[in-house]
Amino acid sequence: MSSNPEQLPAIAAGSGVPRHVAVVMDGNGRWAQARFLPRPAGHRAGVDAVRRIVEACGRRGVKVLTLFAFSSENWTRPEEEVSVLMDLMLRTLEKEASRLHENNVRVRMIGDRSRFSHRLQRQIAAAEELTADNTGLTLVIAVSYGGRWDLAQAARRIAEAVQDGSLDPEQVNESLVEGMLNTADLPPTDLLIRTGGESRISNFLLWQLAYAELYFTPVLWPDFREAHLDEAFDWYAGRERRFGRTSEQLGRVSRA
Ligand code: IPE
Ligand code: IPE
Ligand code: MG
């Protein structure tokens, strides 16, 4: 980062709505269990929460919303649950793509899509293509995604570039690595929200969360409403984002 304090990223308390919000949507299974319903019912209710929060983020002027829908580790769940989740993803994309497009939302998927069915891969590509030129909210859906996987695939591509002679190891720096991640052209994550009561990252955006504000709430994802989002945003607006500096330095910058 530049040593010029004028070039610090968005800083100081009250800086308003986060530009890039990431969400670990956790608690679907417990929501269903509490109602004596099978786990898939929780996942279906989770889709309704996604719809609400996408719309709410759009209205509040969030630029990027990244939703953790299925982790690299979630492949280890019972086969039946994995297949329900994949099916739900396919149906939701089929159903919602045109509405998202009408609302000027740009859809993107990050993760290892080689593990998906051809049909799901085609549906993802179609939704991305349809919405590619939209200028509203960018909705990033992380499916079959893991932060370690993302870093490993970046390392592999860098190694390949060195091997074929197009890159000198001397050129490997933070911005080069960042440019190789699945999130390359997105702004840094400002706020991470995790529902469901756990205080962990679960292999989500490891690199990208380096300076995010972390907000954990016990609310289960299917119960997450616009008012909960506002609570998280209010909390975020009260953070002083120092990026390694002192409060006094920030005071000087915001007065400048
Ligand atoms: C999050 O809810 C959704 C996915 C991980 C796909 P869970 O299914 O993890 O719900 P809990 O944590 O068991 O309640
Ligand atoms: C994290 O939730 C992944 C998603 C929400 C997609 P998990 O429920 O899989 O997380 P752990 O396993 O409890 O850490
Ligand atoms: Mg969970």
Count other C-beta atoms under 10 Å from residue 256's C-beta. 7
Q: Would you say 21 and 57 are in contact if contact means Cβ atoms under 8 Å apart?
A: yes
Structure-block tokens of residue 242: 């120092």
Burial pattern 97-122, b for ≥16 Cβ within 10 A else e, equals beebbebebbbbbbbbeeebeeebee
Residues 27-39 have pLDDT tens digits of 999 999 999 999 9
The candidate with the shortest Cα–Cα distance to 230, out of 211, 215, 212, is 215
Q: What is the pTM of this model?
A: 0.93
Entry field: residues in the chain: 256
Q: Would you say 189 and 20 are in contact if contact means Cβ atoms under 8 Å apart?
A: yes
Q: Which ligand is nearest to the CA of 81?
A: 1
User: What is the 42 CA–ligand 1 centroid distance (Å)?
Assistant: 8
Give dist(CA 31, CA 149) in Å, integer: 29
Which domains, from first to last, does the chain contain?
Answer: 5-146+190-255 (3.40.1180.10)
Residues 24-69 have pLDDT tens digits of 999 999 999 999 999 999 999 999 999 999 999 999 999 999 999 9
Q: Would you say 42 and 222 are in contact if contact means Cβ atoms under 8 Å apart?
A: yes
Give dist(CA 196, CA 25) in Å, integer: 8
Give dist(CA 167, CA 40) in Å, integer: 47
**Over its length of 256 residues, how does the chain's per-residue pLDDT go in tens digits?**
334 444 455 444 445 999 999 999 999 999 999 999 999 999 999 999 999 999 999 999 999 999 999 999 999 999 999 999 999 999 999 999 999 999 999 999 999 999 999 999 999 999 999 999 999 999 999 999 999 999 999 999 999 999 999 999 999 999 999 999 999 999 999 999 999 999 999 999 999 999 999 999 999 999 999 999 999 999 999 999 999 999 999 986 554 4
Pocket probe mutation, ligand 2, options 24, 47, 193, 200, max atoms within 8 Å of Cβ:
24
The candidate with the shortest Cα–Cα distance to 105, out of 63, 150, 52, 165, is 63
29 Cβ closer than 6 Å to some ligand 1 atom: yes
Our answer to whether residue 26 is catalytic in this structure is yes
Cα 4 to Cα 9, 170, 241, 249, 254: the distances in Å are: 11, 25, 16, 11, 13
Give ligand 2 pocket residues (Cβ under 6 A): 24-26, 68-71, 74, 198, 200, 202
